[in-house]
Amino acid sequence: APGLYVVSTPIGNLEDITLRALRVLRSATLVLAEDTRHTRQLLTHFGISTPLHSFHQHNERQKEGLVLRQLRQGAAIALVSDAGTPAINDPGADLVAAAAAEGLPVIPVPGASAVLAGLVASGLPTRQFLYCGFTAPKASARQKQFAALATQEATLVFYVSPHSLLAALGDAAAVLGPGRRCCLARELTKRHEELWRGTLQEAAQEFTERGPRGEFVLLVEGAPAGSAAAAGAAAGGGEAGEAEIV
Ligand code: SAM
């Protein structure tokens, strides 16, 4: 059927592709890929030869018009990223918004995403969580990012590049408190998968000693219940938690 298919692919383990993803990728008119060489390997592995077009952060805008035109003509277009779920810190959100605005069908084909994989294995509360994207690369922006989340009661989920992990852990410990529990979900679904758990201070120590290697999701336990209300009251009493985004 025509439409824009937002197709999740594995985040490390090829067995995590779904049967439906394979069928959609096989039968699509074309596949939009963040990196065509990377996705070509995946498709070849599964014996799929659907044409690939590049769609990444630098040509996203410019390709949008062309893709929308094809969708209007009834094409079935599959969107994939290098790993995990497109539009989650990967290209695709603007294209989906544009397609949706025109009333064109958008069909999610769910599968792996590091956010949920890390969350469910973290051991931290899952009832409420806040996906915060990547920790900011610059120290001042990152400290502000953490400060704005200090009274957030939901479990916090961040993507962290290995290159900024140590600084991010140091800032998180300083701003959110050294004793907060956290989990570093490292190399999920891969050979060296690890769920490291401890406090933020312990995490900073541990990963400074051994060096930050691999891909990481950082999960931090939320503030104690009542923190948001207390902070709201202290700030002069608007609706407690009014500005929270969960
Ligand atoms: N769209 C992807 C998703 O749904 O998971 C995320 C893409 S984002 C550009 C890449 C970041 O996701 C990495 O820097 C890391 O923080 C996280 N990530 C991706 N794969 C991972 C894995 N196998 N283990 C741990 N973290 C991973």
CA–centroid distance, residue 105 to ligand 1 (Å): 27
| Predicted-complex ipTM score | 0.99
CA–centroid distance, residue 13 to ligand 1 (Å): 13
**Radius of gyration over every alpha carbon of the chain, rounded to an integer in angstroms:** 20
b/e per residue 46-82 (b: at least 16 CB within 10 A): eebebebeebbeeebeebbeebbebbeeeebbbbbbb
**DSSP letter string, 123-171:** -S--SSEEEEEEPPSSHHHHHHHHHTTTT--SEEEEEE-GGGHHHHHHH
pLDDT reported for residue 229: 84
Which residues contact ligand 1 via a Cβ below 6 A?
11-12, 81, 83-85, 88-90, 113-114, 159-161, 185, 187-190, 215-217
Kindly report the protein residue whose alpha carbon is nearest to atom 8 of ligand 1.
89
pLDDT reported for residue 246: 52
pLDDT reported for residue 235: 75
CA–centroid distance, residue 14 to ligand 1 (Å): 15
pLDDT reported for residue 48: 98
pLDDT reported for residue 116: 98
pLDDT reported for residue 241: 45
CA–centroid distance, residue 167 to ligand 1 (Å): 19
Over the chain (246 residues), what is each successive 10-residue block's mean pLDDT?
98 98 98 97 98 95 95 98 97 97 98 98 98 97 98 98 97 98 98 98 97 96 90 67 48
Record the pTM: 0.93
From the CA of 161, give the closest atom in ligand 1.
14
pLDDT reported for residue 227: 87
Polymer length in residues for the chain: 246
Look up residue 78 and give its amino acid: A
Residue 152 contacts residue 241 (beta carbons within 8 Å): no
Look up residue 6 and give its amino acid: V
Probe target for ligand 1 pocket from 187, 216, 219, 220, with the most ligand atoms within 8 Å of CB: 216
Probe target for ligand 1 pocket from 163, 215, 216, with the most ligand atoms within 8 Å of CB: 215
